[in-house]
Amino acid sequence: MLNFLKSNLQKRKGAVYVRFLVKDNCLVPQIERDHSLPISQIQTIPQPALNPDFSYNPNLQKLLTGKQLLLDDLPFPIEEIQNHYENGYITYRKGIEYKRNRPICSRCGNKAENWFARFPCSRCGEICYYCRKCLMMGRISACTPLIGWNGTAPEHQLPETILGWKGQLSPGQQTASKRVVEAVQNMTELLVWAVCGAGKTEVLFAGIESALASKKRVCVATPRTDVVLELTPRLKAAFPEINVASLYGGSEERHLYAPLTIATTHQLLRFYHAFDTIILDEVDAFPYTIEDSLQFAAVQARKPDSAMIYLTATPNEKWQRECRIGKRDFTTIPARFHRYPLPVPHFKWCGNWQKQLKKDKLPVNILTWVKDRLDHKKQALLFFPHIHLMEKALPILRRLSPKIEAVHAEDPNRKNKVQKMRNKEIPLLLTTTILERGVTFPNIDVAVVGAEDDIFTESALVQIAGRAGRSRDFPDGAVTFFHYGKTEDMLKARKQINTMNQEGVRKGLIDV
């Protein structure tokens, strides 16, 4: 059969087989259309039994363990892949499944009809469906086999010392750390609800160590590339002798097999039943919250028996309710490591500020707030709900100081401006919600202009307030919400901060 394949492939140079027939309880790739079908039309995909005498290719094993890849992702000849399949080491799954004649993408779970497109497919020679939702990871169509590994996982030697970190956990961190270790060992789910600045990364170390020590595979996933880039060196330093794969769009370690993986949630789309422990950081952050495919990917990347740890400073309303009624297992770190309370936001009414902006003006109390910061040389972040409003406000504020800058998501100088802010070269930085999380400046005040806007959800406002007072040397900072009418979200955000502070005091984690 392999010879048949080779000769056919020579005939159609560059072509990849994409039609199959089932023969002797085995899927056989075909080039000819006669009697063959695209994989999605084959009822049940047979899985040959594992042949223990077969000598498999360890590079294929490393590449495929815990993955679901396309033929295009595999730099191996088709004959070799098929040979591994026939000996039970490789699995083929349908890229698209049909349920009641409706397509479902096996990789990203998409089942919305408008996210599928049809095209005349040169690979199967039919009009073929493909998924538009996960297109950026390579096209999945109705004739695409998703390829996985069915053999054992690669062996790796454990170093004598797994965890090299020698720091001390705060009492609040310790409690959470113990719970994480338990969840890892018992393979359960746990939400770690840690206030901004609690030091949540260190809370994971013992759990990761315990997983690695029992040869478990661990993934720390997060919606944002920035966070992957920030976590990678920290985890590499904490686990100096463990191989760490850092995966994000454009990273070079895409095919590295490692016991510890740090990845964007997008990258999880390439994994299938891979991890014994997944730690999902910033579960409430965009785009994870609104992209069903990313949530699907996180579930699919877990082994059926595995631990799932969710980390956030701001769980959404549904999760908060589930915590309250005991439906969701959780632990809190209600206080920052420096034992000072979280700054509580002040609400200040500023009238119809957008109308003023149209006349090239800003409300007096906002101008006074800015001027105060400039006079006292206290750095500050000023949040705006939309770019065009921010850009309208910039020249007005620059009359107070020409060094004031503004930053937003698509700003090509974003990194540069953040760095200048760190270097204290910028006295005041205007920003959209892009800086609501992730960035830490040691000594700043924070204000929101137009806190009534829909974009400022409870969690966005808690995160924004969480930018202030992060460092031990400057544990407080003013947080002001300028508004044209208080919203539910503003009230809930303030309440959440107060509740955490009270809990911190009650548990002896805040000095009063």
Residues at the interface with Zn ion (CB under 5 A): 105, 107-108, 110, 121, 123-124, 128, 131, 133-134, 141, 143
**Shortest distance in whole angstroms from residue 297 CB to Zn ion:** 10
- Are 319 and 328 contacting, i.e. CB atoms less than 8 angstroms apart? yes
**Shortest distance in whole angstroms from residue 395 CB to Zn ion:** 45
**Shortest distance in whole angstroms from residue 266 CB to Zn ion:** 12
3-class SS of residue 104: strand
Nearer Cβ to Zn ion (61/141): 141
| C-alpha pair distances (Å), 73 with each of 70, 77, 251, 430 | 5, 11, 15, 43
Nearer Cβ to Zn ion (43/423): 43
**Shortest distance in whole angstroms from residue 42 CB to Zn ion:** 13
If we measure between CA atoms, which residue out of 474, 488, 481 comes closest to residue 197?
Answer: 474
**Shortest distance in whole angstroms from residue 193 CB to Zn ion:** 32
| C-alpha pair distances (Å), 198 with each of 334, 458, 497 | 8, 19, 13
Which of left, alpha, beta for 404 (phi over 0: left; psi -120 to 50: alpha)? beta
**Shortest distance in whole angstroms from residue 209 CB to Zn ion:** 35
Nearer Cβ to Zn ion (105/380): 105
Nearer Cβ to Zn ion (184/263): 263
If we measure between CA atoms, which residue out of 203, 281, 174 comes closest to residue 509?
Answer: 174
Residue type, 183: A
Nearer Cβ to Zn ion (87/293): 293
If we measure between CA atoms, which residue out of 189, 167, 179 comes closest to residue 279?
Answer: 189
Nearer Cβ to Zn ion (116/239): 116
Q: Which residue has the tokens 């990273």?
A: 251
**Shortest distance in whole angstroms from residue 36 CB to Zn ion:** 12
| C-alpha pair distances (Å), 510 with each of 136, 175, 300, 503 | 47, 15, 40, 9
Nearer Cβ to Zn ion (89/129): 129
The partner residues of 133 in beta bridges, in order of sequence, read none
The partner residues of 112 in beta bridges, in order of sequence, read none
